[in-house]
Chains A and B, each alone.
Chain A
Amino acid sequence: MNVSRRWLEGFLRRELDPRDVAARLAMLGAPVDAIEPLYAGLEGILVARVTAVAPHPDADRLRVCTVDDGSGTPKQVVCGAPNVVPGGTYPFAPVGSAVPVGKGGGPLRIERAKLRGVMSEGMLCSARELGLGQDANGLWALDTDAPPGSGLDAALGLSDHRLVVDVTPNRPDLLGHKGVARELAASYGVPYRLPALPGVAEAAVPPAVKAGASGAVGSVRVAIEDAGCARFLGAVILGATVGPSPAWLQRRLEAAGVRPISNVVDATNYVMLELNQPMHAYDVTKLRGTTVVARAARAGEKLVTLDGEERALPLGALVIADLDGPIGLAGVMGGAHSEIGADTRDLFLECAWFDPSRVRKARQVVGLPTDASYRFERGVDRWNAPAAMRRCIELVLATAGGTLVDAPVDLHPEPSHPPRIFLRLARLAQVLGVALPLGEVERCLVAIGCTVVAKPDDGRLAVDVPGWRPDLVAEIDLVEEVARLHGYDSLPGDLRGARPAAQADPPAVAAIARVRRGLAGLGLREALTYPLGEPATDEAVRLLNPLSAADAALRERLLPGLARLVERNWAVRTRDVRLFEVGTVFRAGAPGARPVERTHVAAVVTGGRGPAHWSGEPEPYTLWDAKGLAEAIAELAAPGAELVPADEGWTLRLGGEAIGWAGPLAADAPPWAAPLFGVEVALRADGAAPARFRPLPEYPPVERDIALLLGAGQAAGAVVAALTGAGEPLLEEVRVLSDYRGAGLPEGTRSVAFRLVYRAADRTLRDAEVDAAEARLLAVLEAATGLRRRAADAAG
């Protein structure tokens, strides 16, 4: 909502500092996003009277004017405007002042200058040169009683500020200047009332004539045929003259960000911006059957709206219609057919209340959000409609002339009142935590327009809420209003004791923290990938209304996103990249059930295994680093998981279930990039079993090495598994020492050396014991894998 400082000043009858207004509104719940100075730079511009006009000796289109600028010394000013006349009053920029909008668009400094040989001491200005409209065809003829020499700004009240107020959806009253003024009045502790309008006499507008669902005004028959229109006022003005509205009215609309159109349309917009009551004006002669009906749209009905678009009307949408069909989409936009034009003489004014959700649905379907629909959706004050109609009639009569033919007609089939709410002072104290004095509670509620009747007997207040506050429907709403008007910062704020949580963290919380700390400790940097992307499989959770095809589904895995981040690093020539993420991944699951959400842990590495150093370039990460990372991640995130060779890498399996993968990743790599590896695993929340102390060995180990000739398809891992699984009590550890292939070995084989570490807990082992254990192990190994130790090794 764009609010004009001057408009507010009219309500409050006092000068306002826009920053102070913004600060107060913020503390009342309506923060100001911006304060924009309007019509600035008029400081040096004066009101001046042209006392004489003479032709220029050397130029047909220039005139030499004598100007009374109040200084006592008449000034000679050369002027090119065709409309300058002796006795006219105009804005005058004396020598030394600056005109806000010069020829180049920026400020123009005024100096003594000769124009075609004649000295000119200042400049008479057009409205456009002062930044006050587009009319550059002539001087701005002023209609003011201010004596020559008066400051233009002070005389006309021009300079203004536009405050861009952030209005929450529950406060339609703040979508009109009156509502904002009401809040400020409460804050300043001063009264407010409707500003008097320049040139608007208190026209004798008779009170509206109450009617039921139908009635007539002038020659126009009006009717409500749909309960979605709860109130409908109509008025007819004949013989009006459509033209530009007066400057002050244009200024007001501009300050509120609305473009002036014509006096009649501007009057309706003024009422909307002042009272939050959208209005509409029709050309009576274009109403077919001189009938105006609020009804539901019928099948196939269409409307050419004011913006020239033909729109199909949704069945059942509220419309305003004449005998032939819709002439407006109620609460959204009027139709072009009965639009006010330059030659319109006879007007029908509409002031109505439409059901907020009906308006909302219609404008959503039609795709036409307007200032009017914005207000009707949030709720206008149906009980204030007669006052809004009166204000609009006064404005039209004052700015466009014409005659009001009848009292306005007021269709209000089911008259009602705003609700009465009971506020318990005890409840107020319970919610706020502090008891406020009755007088303060009353002050707060009265300030926002409530009528309060205290009932001291039962500690309750009977509160009649005003019609402009449709958000006030329950006791708690009044609690908030009292707190708000009293001031949140005026309430105490000392810590009191509180019972601690009866809830426990879900187990995943600790697991996630452990994994994140662990991976950062491994030298990886935590990244966030964007959780939306292109659907990868049929199991993807797709969106109904994605922002684009590129983010049409939730991610199913983390690695693709991390690989994209690696590519971005490559794109900025970062070669060494180590990233991890702990995040949610999604699968569609069964229809009618919720999608499956799991927490995954993923990491990617590429580039050097350590930072570059002068003593030698570090080796790049290899597949074995990836396997190590996978094991480390498994220990952190899914203790007990095994790496099972698969494809080019490994599948991580736990309890018979595949829970992850590790291996080389394909990506769009520049030629200088090192190999890229990735690991991803589903997080197990339960974590590792708690540690348990094992006695430290007191006796020395004995190490024996064996070499085995492995053929194609024979895995070292199977050897280790067979040995460690043999149940040999003296065997402490099996290590792979080397993997040799090449000269001296039969084709397709390799020699893998293992170191077996033997130890007893209670004694130093004797050679004979180790020999026996080794023999047992070799027998088990041969039975399990068919492998025997190499002859050469046996000898050594």
Chain B
Amino acid sequence: MAESTGFPDLDALLPRLDRLAELGADALDAEYTELLGRKAGALTLALKALPTLPLEQRRPFGAAVNALKLRFEDGFQRRRAALDEARRAAERAGRDLSMPARRQWEGSLHPVLVVLDEIVDIFRSLGFAVATGPEVETDWYNFGALNFPPDHPAMDLHDTLYVDRPPVEGEPGQGRLLLRTHTSPVQLRTLLASAPPVRVVAPGMVYRSDPFDASHAPAFHQLEGLAVDEGIAFVDLKATLAEFARRFFGPSTRVRFRPSYFPFTEPSAEMDVQCGVCGGSGCSACKHTGWMEILGCGMVHEQVLRNGGLDPERYTGWAFGMGPGRIAMNRYGIPDIRLLFDGDMRFLAQFGR
């Protein structure tokens, strides 16, 4: 064996296996190069030189070199894992996990539209579809067809913004253009466009000639509802809207229906829910009545059904309108309607995740 060159003394290498456990990362890398390096590692060279051995020595010697090589590879791997673990432990020890996270920007939906979406979803589950209509309407759809008597004090409740355009030709009425003061014109549009059973809700923007103040805006959202079919009655109006209130405000919500007046419904009503702030005992939020006015409603007026092409002796129906803006202000405790139009990121961040 002494005359052969390049063949390490395998026994002499063995102690270095045990000493791997004492080496640091750099020394370990150097030792690896010396023993297992691809170009000049001792064991690498030994394996490369195998073909120079006499045939009968090749097998036993090759087996011995390979076995040793595997033991060293295993040793290096263990030592590296131990060193990694030690390094990670050191890192963990120095790390302050109470430091703030890195987040993504969060988006949100507008609080009024969140409320509107919720309301629409509830009515969808009660068998309603969504309907829409234009925001610039004619006086016929907005007033005349809805049974507003011409030149009547009921008009005083609808401070109307008129459009500076020539009247629309080929439409019922005078075709005078205005910004719709309520979503009720969609009632007519739906009746004229489809046959009963009619069951729609119509969300949208409406306009009044009301200057901005804490509780008024010249433009705000409204949600209309309309159900027309044979055999629909006032008791169905009550039951459906009370069911809506329970789903929206909570299962124990109490409601009451008060008589009211709208030209396009009769009998007309307003629905109140028990004040959520005081629970009905009376507070400033509910003007000490214990009740919050939520929506106006009523049986669709006979004349509106006729204007919609239906025979009121055969078909009956009910309708409602509510202001999701007011309901949102109520729910979230928003004190000033102008906040809804301010686009203040600090405001918008509070809702609608």
Chain A residues in the interface with B (C-beta under 8 A): 22-23, 26-29, 31, 33-34, 168-171, 357, 360-361, 377-378, 430-434, 474, 476-477, 479-480, 483-484, 488-489, 491-496, 498-506, 508-509, 513, 516-517, 519-532, 541-547, 551, 554, 562, 565-566, 568-569, 572, 574, 576-579, 583-584, 586, 588, 591-595, 597, 609-611, 613-615
Q: Is B132 an interface residue (CB 8 A)?
A: yes
B contact residues around A169 at 8 Å (CB):
152-154, 156-157, 261
Q: Name the residue among B132, B209, B236, B343 with the largest chain A CB count within 10 angstroms.
A: B343
A552 → chain B closest CB, angstroms = 9
Q: Choose from A31, A488, A592, A613 the contact partner of B238 (Cβ within 8 Å).
A: A488
Q: Is B316 an interface residue (CB 8 A)?
A: yes
Q: Answer whether A579 and B343 are a contact pair too, CB < 8 Å, given A504-B129, A505-B129.
A: yes
23 interchain pairs, CB-CB under 8 A: A431-B234, A474-B302, A476-B266, A488-B267, A488-B269, A489-B256, A493-B238, A500-B197, A501-B200, A508-B132, A516-B113, A520-B108, A524-B105, A528-B341, A530-B218, A576-B105, A586-B135, A591-B166, A593-B169, A595-B136, A597-B136, A610-B105, A611-B103
B102 → chain A closest CB, angstroms = 5
Known pairs A492-B239, A541-B165, A577-B345 / 6 extra A-B pairs, C-beta < 8 Å: A33-B287, A498-B227, A524-B107, A545-B209, A565-B343, A613-B100
Q: Answer whether A543 and B163 are a contact pair too, CB < 8 Å, given A491-B238, A509-B132.
A: yes
A544 to B349: give the CA distance in the assembly, Å. Answer: 37
A609 to B105: give the CA distance in the assembly, Å. Answer: 8
Q: Is B177 an interface residue (CB 8 A)?
A: yes
Q: Is B348 an interface residue (CB 8 A)?
A: yes
Q: Answer whether A505 and B209 are a contact pair too, CB < 8 Å, given A492-B235, A597-B135.
A: no
Q: Is the CB of B190 within 8 A of A503?
A: yes
Q: Answer whether A503 and B198 are a contact pair too, CB < 8 Å, given A547-B218, A551-B218, A574-B345.
A: yes
Q: Is the CB of B151 within 8 A of A569?
A: no
B contact residues around A504 at 8 Å (CB):
129
Q: Answer whether A519 and B242 are a contact pair too, CB < 8 Å, given A476-B301, A545-B161.
A: no
A361 to B152: give the CA distance in the assembly, Å. Answer: 10
B contact residues around A583 at 8 Å (CB):
205
Chain B residues in the interface with A (C-beta under 8 A): 99-100, 102-110, 112-113, 117, 127-132, 134-136, 138, 150-154, 156-157, 161-169, 177, 179, 190, 194-200, 205, 207, 209, 211, 217-219, 227, 229, 232-236, 238-240, 242-243, 256-261, 266-269, 287, 289, 299, 301-302, 316, 340-346, 348-349, 352
B contact residues around A360 at 8 Å (CB):
151-153
B contact residues around A521 at 8 Å (CB):
107
Q: Name the residue among B105, B211, B238 with the largest chain A CB count within 10 angstroms.
A: B105
B contact residues around A500 at 8 Å (CB):
127, 197, 199
A contact residues around B344 at 8 Å (CB):
568-569, 572, 574
Q: Is the CB of A502 within 8 A of B194?
A: yes
A502 to B315: give the CA distance in the assembly, Å. Answer: 15
B284 → chain A closest CB, angstroms = 12
Summed over the interface, the residue pairs from A and B with CB atoms below 8 Å come to a total of 283
A677 to B149: give the CA distance in the assembly, Å. Answer: 50
Q: Choose from B163, B164, B348 the contact partner of A525 (Cβ within 8 Å).
A: B348
Q: Is the CB of A503 within 8 A of B132?
A: no
A595 to B229: give the CA distance in the assembly, Å. Answer: 33
A427 and chain B: residue at smallest CB distance? B313
A577 to B349: give the CA distance in the assembly, Å. Answer: 11
B contact residues around A526 at 8 Å (CB):
107-110, 113, 348, 352
Q: Answer whether A488 and B259 are a contact pair too, CB < 8 Å, given A169-B156, A476-B301, A528-B340.
A: yes
A431 to B316: give the CA distance in the assembly, Å. Answer: 7
A568 to B338: give the CA distance in the assembly, Å. Answer: 13
Q: Choose from A22, A509, A529, A545 the contact partner of B341 (Cβ within 8 Å).
A: A529
A contact residues around B268 at 8 Å (CB):
480
Q: Is the CB of B232 within 8 A of A498?
A: yes
B contact residues around A494 at 8 Å (CB):
235, 239
A171 to B301: give the CA distance in the assembly, Å. Answer: 18
Q: Is the CB of A503 within 8 A of B151?
A: no
A contact residues around B110 at 8 Å (CB):
526-528
Q: Choose from B113, B132, B177 the contact partner of A595 (Cβ within 8 Å).
A: B177
A500 to B196: give the CA distance in the assembly, Å. Answer: 10
B227 and chain A: residue at smallest CB distance? A498
Q: Is the CB of A569 within 8 A of B345?
A: yes
A25 and chain B: residue at smallest CB distance? B258
B contact residues around A499 at 8 Å (CB):
127, 197, 199, 229
Q: Answer whether A541 and B136 are a contact pair too, CB < 8 Å, given A498-B197, A501-B200.
A: yes
A contact residues around B168 at 8 Å (CB):
592-594
Q: Answer whether A29 and B302 are a contact pair too, CB < 8 Å, given A480-B267, A491-B238.
A: no
A contact residues around B352 at 8 Å (CB):
520, 526
Q: Choose from B156, B233, B240, B260 the contact partner of A430 (Cβ within 8 Å).
A: B233
A167 and chain B: residue at smallest CB distance? B261
A522 → chain B closest CB, angstroms = 6
B contact residues around A377 at 8 Å (CB):
153
A588 to B100: give the CA distance in the assembly, Å. Answer: 52
Q: Is the CB of B197 within 8 A of A519?
A: no
A657 to B40: give the CA distance in the assembly, Å. Answer: 70
A contact residues around B238 at 8 Å (CB):
488, 491-493
Q: Is the CB of A614 within 8 A of B267?
A: no
A contact residues around B258 at 8 Å (CB):
26-27, 29, 31, 488
Q: Is the CB of A544 within 8 A of B153?
A: no
B127 and chain A: residue at smallest CB distance? A500
Q: Is the CB of B219 within 8 A of A530?
A: yes
B contact residues around A488 at 8 Å (CB):
238, 256-259, 267, 269
A576 to B346: give the CA distance in the assembly, Å. Answer: 11
Q: Is the CB of A477 within 8 A of B266?
A: yes
Q: Answer whether A572 and B346 are a contact pair too, CB < 8 Å, given A526-B110, A543-B161, A593-B168.
A: yes
Q: Is the CB of A547 within 8 A of B211?
A: yes
B48 → chain A closest CB, angstroms = 31
B192 → chain A closest CB, angstroms = 12
A519 → chain B closest CB, angstroms = 7
Q: Is the CB of A432 within 8 A of B234?
A: yes
B233 → chain A closest CB, angstroms = 3
B contact residues around A509 at 8 Å (CB):
130, 132
Q: Choose from B107, B163, B229, B301 the contact partner of A498 (Cβ within 8 Å).
A: B229
A517 → chain B closest CB, angstroms = 8
A502 to B199: give the CA distance in the assembly, Å. Answer: 7
Q: Is the CB of A594 within 8 A of B109?
A: no
A479 and chain B: residue at smallest CB distance? B267
A557 → chain B closest CB, angstroms = 16
A contact residues around B289 at 8 Å (CB):
22-23, 26
A contact residues around B166 at 8 Å (CB):
591-592
Q: Is the CB of A501 within 8 A of B198?
A: yes
A contact residues around B100 at 8 Å (CB):
613-614
Q: Choose from B103, B107, B129 the contact partner of A519 (Cβ within 8 Å).
A: B107
A621 → chain B closest CB, angstroms = 11
- Shortest 6 CB-CB contacts between residues of A and residues of B: A433-B233, A565-B343, A29-B259, A523-B105, A433-B235, A168-B261
Q: Is the CB of A595 within 8 A of B165?
A: yes
A508 to B266: give the CA distance in the assembly, Å. Answer: 33
Q: Is the CB of B343 within 8 A of A569?
A: yes
B contact residues around A529 at 8 Å (CB):
341, 343
A contact residues around B109 at 8 Å (CB):
516-517, 520, 526
A553 → chain B closest CB, angstroms = 9
B191 → chain A closest CB, angstroms = 11
Q: Choose from A361, A431, A595, A597 the contact partner of B233 (Cβ within 8 Å).
A: A431
A595 to B166: give the CA distance in the assembly, Å. Answer: 10
Q: Answer whether A544 and B163 are a contact pair too, CB < 8 Å, given A476-B266, A522-B107, A586-B136.
A: yes
A494 → chain B closest CB, angstroms = 6
Q: Is the CB of B235 within 8 A of A434?
A: yes
A contact residues around B243 at 8 Å (CB):
495
B contact residues around A361 at 8 Å (CB):
151
B262 and chain A: residue at smallest CB distance? A168
A513 and chain B: residue at smallest CB distance? B117
